[in-house]
A and B are shown apart, each in its own frame.
Chain A
Amino acid sequence: MKVLLRNPRRELEMPGPMRVHALLDRLQLNRESVLVIRGDTLVTGDAALADHDEVEIRPVISGGAR
């Protein structure tokens, strides 16, 4: 599957099928810090991603004094 990461923007190829949690663990990402987007919606941690899926892993942490 195709995985788009942001900040900085980059693309990875990962083998599917795989659950979202497993994908985040593999990439050593904290699930509190990201959303996983497939198409125009979100997927939960237990969702299975297929080999032909394209997903975006979007960080949600923003910083700075506001």
Chain B
Amino acid sequence: MKCRSCREPAVIDIRRHNAGFCRDCFLRHCREQVKRAVEDWSMLVPGDRVLVAVSGGKDSLALWDVLLDLGVDADGLYLGLGIGEYSDDSGAMARAYAATRRATLIEVDIPSEYGFDIPGAAAATRRVPCSACGLSKRHLFNQAALDGGYDVVATGHNLDDEAAVLFGNVLRWNTDYLGRQLPVLPAAQGFARKVKPLIRLGERETAAYCVLTGIDYIVEECPNAVGNKHLGYKAALNDIEAQSPGSKAAFYFGFLDRASSKFAEETAAGRDRLVACEGCGAPTTNAGLCAFCALVAKVAR
């Protein structure tokens, strides 16, 4: 197989583009896709200070790398979740990457700063670890962005992530989530802007980006991800994709183009009900404590 652009031998084939790419043309393709997502959705404006949510995995490190290459002012934020070896290894990868690029990595360690870890929170709340983890991440990324004077939080959600989330929301017709599933959430009182610049790249592409640029990322999955619904949706979508390349992109981008605005009203209604958390001041729909402060109150030792 030859590279679509330069006819040199290809190192990767991307069936949804019906194309192969050599290393250099592939890396350019990745940068172009990010640039295009950023432009199409007005994710960034010149001078923005960006905080990248860095997990040590392929997506967030690829995202950080591409943004730095595109000349974006981007620092990283790593959250210590206290998930045993997974956290130790992923933190080491994030630090190593930051050191090679001489980039700034901010770290927030949940166990030492808030007195709990994700497995402990799961046990205390009797819910799956991803639930406490997800809400802690949303809260702490936003908090760190506001505290550090960043305009934007950028996350490594890729096309596969977004298609899988969409699939789950459609299966259950979670209409309020459907209204919020956008590549950009504008800044609002108490909220930094949130952007997902990798939506035009599949996770096979973000992994390939890391392999080809020599970025060492954590390949071993978080132990809590095993068997979760999100992975099941991804597997189902990949079965469809194998039969009919381009299905995931058509599903997700068709939603953004033709359906998502139809759900926007329900979401807007939810926004009006926000009040300030009594613990941290963050906007919340709960009277009293926000979900994160309530979690801390419940589980902190």
* A binding-site residues for B, Cβ under 8 Å: 6-7, 30-35, 37, 40-47, 58-66
Contact = CB atoms under 8 A, between A and B. Distances in A.
Contacts of A7: 219-221
Contacts of B15: 32
Contacts of B224: 64
Nearest to A42: B11
B230 A35 contact: no
A66 B134 contact: yes
A58 B235 CA distance: 15
Contact of A33 (B59, B208, B211, B235): B235
B58 A33 contact: no
Contacts of B204: 32-35, 60
Interface of B: 1, 10-13, 15, 20, 23, 53, 55, 57-59, 130-131, 133-134, 137, 155-157, 160-161, 202-204, 206-208, 211-212, 214, 219-222, 224-225, 228, 230-231, 234-235, 238-239, 241-242
Contacts of B11: 41-44
A30 B11 CA distance: 18
Given A32-B204, A64-B222, A66-B157, A44 B1 contact: yes
30 contacts: A6-B219, A7-B219, A30-B235, A30-B239, A30-B242, A31-B242, A32-B242, A33-B235, A34-B204, A35-B207, A40-B214, A41-B23, A44-B10, A59-B219, A60-B206, A61-B160, A61-B231, A61-B235, A61-B238, A62-B57, A62-B58, A62-B59, A62-B203, A64-B224, A64-B228, A64-B230, A65-B137, A66-B134, A66-B157, A66-B161
Contacts, number: 100
Given A32-B204, A37-B211, A60-B204, A44 B20 contact: yes
